[in-house]
Amino acid sequence: MSAIRCSSTALAKGLTISATWDIHGNHATHRPCRRRDTEPGRAGRRAPSAAAATRGGWSRVRGTRSRDRGDHLPRRRRREAAVMASSQRAARRIAASTVILGTLAAGCGTSNSDDKPVAFVADRVVTKGQLDAALEHLREEAIREGRTPELGDPDSRAARNHLLVLLVYRAQLDEAAARLHIHVSEEQVDARVAELAESKGEEAERDDEFARSTARAQVVYGEIYNRVTRNVRVSDFDVKRYLRAAGIPNAKRAFVGARLLADKRDRTMRRWIIETDRRLAPRIHYAPGYTPVG
Binned at pLDDT 50, 70 and 90, residue 12 comes out as: very low
Question: What is the C-alpha to C-alpha distance for residues 273 and 173, in angstroms, rounded to an integer?
Answer: 9
List the chain domain ranges: 115-233
pTM given for the model: 0.61
Binned at pLDDT 50, 70 and 90, residue 293 comes out as: confident
Average model confidence (pLDDT) for the chain? Answer: 77
The fold for domain 115-233 equals: Triger factor/SurA peptide-binding fold (1.10.4030)
Binned at pLDDT 50, 70 and 90, residue 113 comes out as: confident
Percent of the chain having pLDDT more than 70?
Answer: 62
Nearest residue to 179 via CA among 81, 272, 59, 271 = 272
Helix (H, G, I), strand (E, B) or coil at 210: helix
Which residues does 153 contact at the CB level (< 8 Å), separation at least 6? Answer: 159
